[in-house]
Amino acid sequence: MSRSRRPHPAWSVAAVAFVALVGAAGFRATPSVMLHPLHAEFGWPLATISAAVSVNLILYGLTAPFAAALMDRFGLRHVVAGALVLVAAGSGLTVLMRSSAELILCWGVLVGLGTGSMALAFVATVTGRWFVRRRGLVTGVLTAGGAAGQLVFLPVLARLVESHGWRPAALTVAGTALVVVPLVLWRLRDHPADLGVTAYGAPSGAPAPAPAPAGGAAARALRALGSAARTGPFWLLAGGFAICGATTNGLVGTHFIPAAHDHGMTETTAAGLLALVGLFDIAGTILSGWLTDRVDSRLLLGAYYALRGPSLLVLPVLFAATVRPSMVVFILFYGLDWVATVPPTVGLCRRYFGADGPIVFGWVLASHQVGAGLAATGAGLIRDRLGNYTAAWYIAGALSFGAAGLSLLLYRRPRRSGPNPAATPATATAA
């Protein structure tokens, strides 16, 4: 085969990034299958265990914008490899813990820093550097990597917890994260110029040299926040994404299995349902990425949030000891919508904030995780106080409609003067 017909190396970089995201996603499946086992062994209230999840979710978000800047300073490979090591340490050390403070340190701090260092800002960095064409589609595929990890790990972890206890499950997550580190160090590349090529879909010609490492990663992240925070679109995107986090990772991702267990469903069966959410999420997120290249992202966001609301409002009446057809319909519908919001949000950050788009998206993601953390703890408190999760589902459904309204308000913001050089042709046209 001639050199000109070889696959562009951008696809190899995207494949390694996908595997790394799957490897780190193991922990995303861990809390939901371990809430009740940890409660049974240590006697900690669900709200206390949920607080560890909240710390994890919030640190995940707050780390992301600094990680995007660190990737500019130290490179993708070093930051991602270090992040996977932190995930492995945080998950593996839980087998030695004896107090809830140690749970917060391991689950919350170590894993939160690790997963935050290769969060969706990592996806925005990879697609921004390596792709011009198919950027939205690749964003969708990489975002689906987290869902793929959930799909792979949830049934396995649930079976391990049921048969052997929660400690083998925690060690499985740690081992999986470590296995991916050599692949990242071997195959992940920082810039197209490192291989003497241009980004996929960029005009032919000599590749642009890789930019010199930028110092002051923290200062750059804070400068990007300060600039973005003076604009209306930032707050509209951040507000909607905070609700997105509350209604996905914070509530459903953390509490769906315990809520199903409250209605007599086995944790293994509930874990299988949540894994199906991950399966349909893969299809929904890839489709959303494809649509982001063709449809105005503001319209997509409004539609996604508006559709999520009714599904959460009806969820309380769908729980039962067995899986009924109505629950399968919810899983299908909700799964398609789970993180379909990510590709259009990444696209809008790039449209409004140009070269700082990945870092600004990191701050928008921070709002997502703050919302998720508040929802994880809030739902645990509701369950402890009221004995069920019904109020939590109703609140989440109402908030989803609010997120739709915030997204549609983006239509009222002034358009940028002139095309955004970081936008795809389709996005620039839509803008």
Quick one: tokens of 148?
A: 């793929």
Q: Above 60 in pLDDT, residue 429?
A: no
Render pLDDT for 307-320 as a digit per residue (tens, 0 to 9): 999 999 999 999 99
Task: State how far the Cα of 148 lies from the Cα of 278, in Å rounded to an integer.
Answer: 6
Q: What is the Cα 12 distance to its own chain's centre? A: 21
Distance CA(111)–CA(53), nearest Å, equals 10
pLDDT-derived band at 403 (thresholds 50, 70, 90) equals very high
Range scoring the smallest mean pLDDT among 19-28, 76-85, 378-387: 19-28
| Both structure tokens of 103 | 């749970």
Query: pTM for the complete prediction?
Result: 0.73
Mind listing the pLDDT tens digit for each residue in 179-222? Answer: 999 999 998 888 888 888 888 888 876 565 656 555 566 787 88
Q: Is 255 exposed, middle or buried (0-12, 13-18, 19+ CB in 10 A)?
A: buried
List, as one string, the DSSP characters of 266-310: -HHHHHHHHHHHHHHHHHHHHHHHHHHTTS-HHHHHHHHHHHHHH
* 3-state DSSP assignment of residue 131: strand
Predicted confidence at residue 398, as pLDDT, reads 96
What's the rounded Cα separation, in Å, for the pair 381 and 176? 32
Burial class (CB in 10 A: 0-12, 13-18, 19+), 192: buried
pLDDT (tens digit, 9 = 90+) per residue, 346-357?
889 988 998 788
Q: Which residue has the tokens 């399966």?
A: 279
Asked whether the predicted pLDDT for residue 29 surpasses 80, the reply is no
The pLDDT score that the predictor gives to residue 345 is 93
Q: Measured in whole angstroms, how far is the alpha carbon of residue 271 from the centre of its chain?
A: 19
Residue 119 has pLDDT above 80, yes or no: no
Q: Report the pLDDT value the prediction gives residue 81, as an integer from 0 to 100.
A: 93
- As a whole number, mean pLDDT of residues 22-26 equals 77
Rama region for 74: left / alpha / beta (φ>0; ψ in -120 to 50; rest): alpha
Residue with tokens 């607080």: 51
Interior CA angle at 35 toward 388 and 42, to 5°?
A: 110
**Taken in order 85, 91, 93, 99, is the CA torsion positive or negative?**
positive
**How many CB atoms lie under 10 A from the CB of residue 170?**
26
Say how far apart CA 245 and CA 112 lie, in whole Å: 15
Is domain 8-188+214-414+424-430 given the CATH code 3.40.50.880 in the classification? Answer: no
> Average pLDDT for residues 140-166, to the nearest whole number?
81
Q: What is the mean pLDDT of residues 28-40?
A: 82
- Give the residue extent of every domain in the chain: 8-188+214-414+424-430
Percent helix, strand and coil across the chain, each to the nearest 5: 80, 0, 20
∠ CA 173-21-369, rounded to 5°: 90
User: What are the backbone angles phi and psi of residue 200, rounded to the nearest 5°?
Assistant: -60, 125
Torsion of CA 94, 274, 289, 213, to 10 degrees: 0
Angle subtended by helix axes 254-262 and 357-386, to nearest 10? 20
Distance, CA of 372 to chain centre: 11
pLDDT of residue 70: 82
Spatial contact of 26 and 177, defined as CB atoms under 8 Å apart: yes
Q: Give the pLDDT of residue 423.
A: 38
Please give the structure tokens belonging to residue 50: 């949920």
Q: What is the mean pLDDT of residues 241-249?
A: 93
Q: What is the pLDDT of residue 427?
A: 33
Name residues whose C-beta falls within 8 Å of residue 422's C-beta, 6 or more positions apart in sequence.
128, 350, 351, 354, 355, 357
Provide the 3-class DSSP secondary structure of residue 299. Answer: helix
